[in-house]
Amino acid sequence: MKHYVGESLDDYLSKIEKDEIVMTTDDASKLTFNLLSAVAAVHSANVIHRDIKPENIIINDQLEVRLCDFSAARVISEDYSSFEPPYCEEKRKETAKDLTANRPQRKKR
């Protein structure tokens, strides 16, 4: 995984509110375009982030955007019929085995 130097959009917006930095309309346009491009890139990989908020958007000095915290993300099937966590099948099978391993057996009638 690449290391990325930047700050959260939340911190960046706080600096604007405190007049520590100035955001021009060109900066706002660039940031918006880069954010939408990042979301489009994630969606093109059939992933839905599901938790986009200023704390999960990292930007650098050039207003390049990185999305982080994919813990709520889901993968969309090709026919859009199901949504799965990115770790999907193997983890789900392991979890199902763990849950059923110590479960008492039901009595047959």
* Cα(78)–Cα(91) distance, integer angstroms: 20
Which residues of the chain, if any, have pLDDT below 70? 1-2, 79-109
pLDDT value at residue 46: 87
Residue for token pair 């309309």 = 25
pLDDT value at residue 4: 77
Catalytic residue among 10, 11, 26, 51: 51
> Which residue ranges form the domains of the chain, and what is each CATH number?
7-101 (1.10.510.10)
Is 69 among the residues known to form the active site? no
Question: Which SS3 state, helix, strand or coil, does residue 48 take?
Answer: strand
Contacts of 90 (CB under 8 A, 6+ apart): none
Say what the pTM is. 0.70
pLDDT per position as a tens digit, 4-34 = 789 999 999 999 999 999 999 999 999 999 9
Supply 18's token pair. Answer: 């405190």
* Alpha helix (H) residue ranges in the chain: 9-17, 25-44, 88-101
